């Protein structure tokens, strides 16, 4: 079984805790609980769902009704929190509260997007309107949609020009049309100038690093667009990027970090990224260190997390050759007989 969860806070001061247990063998949700903590301190279990039987496909969801909870039958393959928004009648104040809080929790989840760019999937034509996914295969379609927002389009061009060493004059597209001349497929291309000559580089000829970077910045901009999801853009976006440095030269670390930091700040985006790159760690400013979390394995093989600033040798590390060099030399490893803080401890503090 796999257990996951999240906590979200509203502007009104109330907190929502969503906890889910999944059965990976059947792709079913075994149990799900959505708990409201009011700003006054009181709590209410809004959704308490459990699977009827393994493989049944049905869950019994007990929904808050101010008195005895009311039970509904939901699909165990989908979030009960999502199903409650359409299946729970808003005929009482209590059930209106349930639906309102479910929508709020879904809004928080909608704003989280995991991106693990796969350049090999970006080197072909893409159908216009293809929705973003974690691989970045929809890069060309996202970029094509951004043309409708002049500010976002110019920002994309500026971000690309800031990374690529040649002069980028414009972002263009190769087009795939039907016999009746309808445009259906596009492939992103760069119009570049080098050595006094102009040339066009389509996505299929771009480097892995360029494609990865393009997918990251295009996703950042696209998620803020009204058409990014069926419900529109989330109130706040969290973008999680796997191995942000892959395909980039070490010298580009500081440049990429600065560009993404500014873009995330401008568009009110929370940016989380995993990295093994010493160059990227060395490119960080001291103000960034509180946001760095080290993942380590203890003697039992379990992964543990702790903040960089909580490392017992933190002052020594940052005053020396740099955090990246310390990583290369193995100085970030936990010292013998000194426990590493658990994931629960990290997020409880």
Domain boundary among 182, 214, 249: 249
- Report yes or no on 211 lying in a domain: yes
Q: For residues 27 and 77, is the Cβ–Cβ distance under 8 A? A: yes
Residue with tokens 């500081």: 254
Beta bridge partners of 34: 18, 47
Structural domain including 92 reads: 2-110
Mark whether 157 and 228 lie in a shared domain: yes
Q: How far apart are CA 245 and CA 279, in angstroms?
A: 9
Residue 21 lies in a domain: yes
Q: Do residues 166 and 94 both lie within one domain?
A: no
The reply to whether 43 and 161 lie within a common domain is no
| Together in a domain, 123 and 231 | yes
Query: Are residues 6 and 49 located together in one domain of the fold?
Result: yes
Residue 331 in any domain: the answer is no
Assigned domain for 31 exists: yes
One domain, residues 157 and 103? no
Q: What is the pLDDT of residue 167?
A: 82
Q: What is the pLDDT of residue 335?
A: 54
Q: Answer yes or no: do 104 and 142 share one domain.
A: no
175 and 69 co-located in one domain: no
pLDDT of residue 330: 63
Query: Does residue 185 fall inside a structural domain?
Result: yes
Q: Residue 346's pLDDT is what?
A: 46
Q: Answer whether residue 311 is part of any domain.
A: no
Residue 160 pLDDT = 84
236 shares a domain with 159: yes
User: Is this prediction's pTM over 0.85?
Assistant: no
Bridge partner residues of 346 (DSSP): none
Same domain flag for 151 and 216 = yes
Looking at the domain assignment, is residue 57 inside a domain?
yes
Do 36 and 52 belong to one domain? yes
Q: Which residues contact 122 (CB under 8 A, 6 or more apart)?
A: 136, 137, 139, 140, 203, 211, 214, 215
> How much is the pLDDT for 321?
62
pLDDT value of residue 158 = 86
End position of a domain, from candidates 230, 249, 268:
249
Domain presence at residue 204: yes
pLDDT at residue 343, rounded to an integer:
44
Contact at 8 Å (CB) between 84 and 98? yes
**In angstroms, rounded to a whole number, what is the distance separating the alpha carbons of residues 18 and 347?**
15
If one counts the domains in the chain, the total is 2
Q: Determine the angle formed by the axes of helices 93-110 and 80-87, rounding to 10 degrees.
A: 130
pLDDT averaged per 10 residues, the chain (length 349): 83 84 89 90 90 90 90 93 92 91 85 86 93 91 92 88 77 91 93 86 90 87 66 64 76 72 74 80 78 78 78 72 66 54 48
Calculate helix-pair angle for 150-161, 208-222, nearest 10 degrees. Answer: 150
Q: Please identify, among 249, 271, 291, the residue that sits at the C-terminal boundary of a domain.
A: 249
Clarify whether residues 106 and 127 are in a common domain. Answer: no
């Amino acid at each position: 079984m796999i257990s996951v969860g999240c906590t979200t806070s509203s502007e009104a001061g109330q907190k929502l805790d969503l906890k889910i247990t999944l059965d990976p063998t059947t792709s079913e949700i075994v149990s799900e609980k959505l708990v409201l903590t009011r700003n006054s301190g009181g709590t209410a279990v809004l959704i308490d769902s459990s699977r009827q039987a393994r493989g049944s496909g049905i869950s019994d969801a007990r929904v808050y009704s101010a008195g005895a909870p009311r039970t509904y039958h939901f699909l165990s393959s989908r979030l009960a929190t999502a199903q409650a928004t359409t299946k729970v009648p808003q005929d009482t104040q209590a059930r209106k509260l349930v639906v309102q809080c479910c929508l709020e929790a879904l809004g928080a989840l909608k704003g989280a997007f995991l991106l693990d760019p796969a350049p090999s999937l970006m080197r072909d034509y893409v159908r216009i309107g293809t929705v973003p996914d974690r691989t970045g295969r929809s890069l060309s379609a996202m970029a094509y949609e951004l043309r409708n927002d002049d500010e976002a389009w110019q920002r994309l061009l500026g971000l690309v020009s800031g990374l690529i060493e040649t002069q980028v004059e414009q972002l263009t597209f190769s087009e795939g049309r039907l016999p009746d001349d309808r445009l259906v497929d596009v492939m992103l291309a760069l119009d570049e100038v080098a050595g006094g000559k102009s040339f066009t580089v389509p996505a299929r000829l771009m480097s892995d690093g360029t494609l990865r970077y393009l997918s990251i910045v295009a996703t950042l901009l696209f998620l803020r667009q009204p058409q990014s999801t069926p419900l529109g853009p989330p109130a706040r976006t969290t973008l999680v990027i796997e191995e942000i440095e892959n395909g980039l030269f070490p010298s580009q670390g500081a440049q990429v970090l600065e560009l993404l930091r500014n873009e995330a700040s401008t568009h009110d985006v929370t940016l989380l990224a995993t990295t093994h790159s010493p160059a990227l760690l060395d490119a960080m400013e001291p103000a960034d260190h509180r946001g760095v979390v080290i993942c380590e394995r203890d003697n039992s093989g379990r992964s543990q997390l702790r903040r960089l600033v909580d490392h017992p040798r933190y002052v020594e590390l940052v005053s020396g050759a740099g955090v990246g060099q310390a990583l290369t030399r193995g100085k970030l490893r936990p010292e013998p007989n000194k426990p590493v803080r658990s994931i629960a401890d990290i997020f409880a503090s």
